[in-house]
Structure 1
């Protein structure tokens, strides 16, 4: 699709991101593409994703300059408008971003010339027993070191509301939705339901539901599985639970996961992609499920998820590999794929690297 308007999300705390933004604006001017800065840190305080995109003129491409956190902010906007999102890596991890600053112009050219692949990623949304709000007395504490809070999620007007199914909220999560304790000395007690059936009651520091994309984020740090982004699944992971069963549950994409705060629990915060969006009291609940929307991520070629995982986690540098001598060689598929393997997803042989690789 031809790009006519570009929305630019820049991590203002990184001088290299500010410098890269000058290059993006120059590229846009050269190709008669309207370019609008979207300041989701300051000017965007109190504005919903829909209002942000309207103010930016509804761009059909969102470019993020920063790390994975900046990408998550841009993804929230792009999903609202079904826009493409291109992440330029200026962070420390770079699981989500696609290209480097040095290859950024080539990546933009590839988008304009429509010689890219579009990676469709699962998103999460939720219903709740009531609207989510952050109490006024907590706002200053929550803002400390984090920038402005996002506005409370709006109620979706296209969905029915009743006591059984609750309130449908305009929420988009690429990584995870988390229910976590607010007090260091008091865990949250939560009943967990999968497809409407009680699974277990947990007392834990937090309980989270992640997408395959988010399986390498908080869920991974809590001991959850790494899930291929090609998979369609919801990953439930308890964080420091006080019970023998501490395993993750991988549910199907059509199996919603409910989290109900129990009677004797302390208050719990609801975080969406790492940003607090509300507080639940005992008796409150949320239901997390796959969103009908998808995020459309720009890829400059087939994504090498496992290569990226290997590099980011330094897996070939494990002590056991060093002790055994040379690291395992890469398995390079160079010949024609046998007929009995033709239905599998295997690496594509390239003549040269794609931009940013």
Structure 2
């Protein structure tokens, strides 16, 4: 594909990120590509995604240099501009980033020569009973040691505002939307609705709605299921609920999830992809649903999500598995599938010597 404008999101606290940034800038200079640094942590306070991509000249490719957190920042910008997103892995437990720093030059060549796959991933968006705001005291507390927060979301100008359906907020989440308690000694009480009908009322530390991509983030830590990023679904999970039913629920992509703060609840914070974006009072509500726009992530080769899951979580090192003697082979098959299975996605061993067990 033709790359004319590249936006660069760099993790400022990593020396290897700065080194990789030099490689990206040199590649851009070599190929006559405009390269602009864009990052929410730049001087000048808080910026919306629209302001950042406008300042970068509407890039058609965004490259992130860091871990999954940096990738999430880039995803917010790429989704806003419908740009491609390439994640360079400099983190510790990365599920989102695509290529190692040593391969960034060849990865950019692959993009330019159109030797890539583009993976489409679900995003979440939000409606609310009112505009989200951050009380000054909360903002000051949350900023401690973290840098500037993102601004409260704006209202989407292209959507209808309705008293019953609420205000459409101009936000997109790749991982999750979380409603959580603000006070340590006061849980948040929430009525949860699926497709407009009450499911249950919860008293919990938090309630979250995740995408399949976000199923390996906070949702996983809260006991939620691991869902293939290729799936289309919403995952609802309560965090430390005071009730017997504490299971996650997986809904269809066209089934929105509503969260209404109940009368005797404490205040609730709304976080989007880990960023605090507002505070709700009893009586307020948010509706979380699949966004019509999707993230377009660059893949240099086939996405081995389950291999990455196995490696990141050390799934083959369980004591019981080791005690069973010979470990399970890495690949279950080495040849192409038969005709009746040709419609399935099956990873086979790469060509070359026989894979070791």
Q: Give the alignment's TM-score, normalised by structure 2.
A: 0.97
Per-residue Cα deviation, 1:2-56 (whole angstroms, up to 9, x for no partner): 1111000000011111111111101110111110001211336322111110100
**Residue number in structure 1 paired with 2:133:** 133
Structure 1 CA distance, aligned partners of 2:235 and 2:62? 27
Per-residue Cα deviation, 1:289-340 (whole angstroms, up to 9, x for no partner): 0000100000011100100100110001111111212321122432231111
Q: Superposition pairs for residues 4-19 of structure 1, below 5 Å?
A: 4-19=4-19
Q: Superposition pairs for residues 182-221 of structure 1, below 5 Å?
A: 182-221=182-221
Q: Superposition pairs for residues 230-241 of structure 1, below 5 Å?
A: 230-241=230-241
Residue 261 of structure 2 corresponds to residue 243 of structure 1? no
Contact 1:317 1:327 in 2 (8 A): no
Secondary structure of 1:103's partner?
helix
Question: After alignment, is 196-205 or 138-147 more displaced?
Answer: 138-147
Structure 2 CA distance, aligned partners of 1:325 and 1:144? 51
**Residue number in structure 1 paired with 2:303:** 303
Structure 1 CA distance, aligned partners of 2:288 and 2:139? 24
Structure 1 CA distance, aligned partners of 2:173 and 2:122? 9
Following superposition, the deviation at residue 153 of structure 1 comes to 0.4
Per-residue Cα deviation, 1:220-240 (whole angstroms, up to 9, x for no partner): 000000001111000000000
Structure 2 CA distance, aligned partners of 1:337 and 1:44? 56
**Divergent runs of 4+, >2 A:** 42-46, 331-334, 348-352
Question: After alignment, is 92-101 or 325-334 more displaced?
Answer: 325-334
Following superposition, the deviation at residue 144 of structure 1 comes to 1.4
Structure 2 CA distance, aligned partners of 1:29 and 1:179? 44
Question: After alignment, is 336-345 or 306-315 more displaced?
Answer: 336-345
Per-residue Cα deviation, 1:147-181 (whole angstroms, up to 9, x for no partner): 21001101011111111000000011000000000
Structure 2 CA distance, aligned partners of 1:160 and 1:326? 61
Q: Superposition pairs for residues 85-100 of structure 1, below 5 Å?
A: 85-100=85-100
**Residue number in structure 1 paired with 2:342:** 342
Structure 1 CA distance, aligned partners of 2:43 and 2:172? 20
Structure 1 CA distance, aligned partners of 2:327 and 2:182? 44
Question: After alignment, is 85-94 or 319-328 more displaced?
Answer: 319-328
**Residue number in structure 1 paired with 2:53:** 53
**Residue number in structure 2 paired with 1:259:** 259
Structure 2 CA distance, aligned partners of 1:277 and 1:240? 22
Which consecutive residues of structure 1, in runs of 5 or more, have no partner in the other structure?
353-357
Which consecutive residues of structure 2, in runs of 5 or more, have no partner in the other structure?
353-357
Q: Superposition pairs for residues 114-153 of structure 1, below 5 Å?
A: 114-153=114-153
**Residue number in structure 2 paired with 1:328:** 328
Contact 1:17 1:90 in 2 (8 A): yes
Following superposition, the deviation at residue 82 of structure 1 comes to 0.6
Per-residue Cα deviation, 1:272-291 (whole angstroms, up to 9, x for no partner): 00000000000000000000
Q: Superposition pairs for residues 281-300 of structure 1, below 5 Å?
A: 281-300=281-300
Q: How big is the alpha-carbon RMSD for the aligned residues of Structure 1 and Structure 2?
A: 1.1
Contact 2:152 2:277 in 1 (8 A): yes
Q: Superposition pairs for residues 24-103 of structure 1, below 5 Å?
A: 24-43=24-43, 45-103=45-103
Contact 1:107 1:300 in 2 (8 A): yes
Following superposition, the deviation at residue 351 of structure 1 comes to 4.0
Contact 1:302 1:348 in 2 (8 A): no
**Residue number in structure 1 paired with 2:166:** 166
Contact 2:63 2:86 in 1 (8 A): yes
Inter-CA distance 176–304: structure 2 relative to 1 (3 Å threshold): same
Structure 2 CA distance, aligned partners of 1:114 and 1:310? 30
Secondary structure of 1:292's partner?
coil
Structure 1 CA distance, aligned partners of 2:251 and 2:268? 23
Structure 2 CA distance, aligned partners of 1:209 and 1:44? 32
Per-residue Cα deviation, 1:234-271 (whole angstroms, up to 9, x for no partner): 00000000000000000000000000000000000000
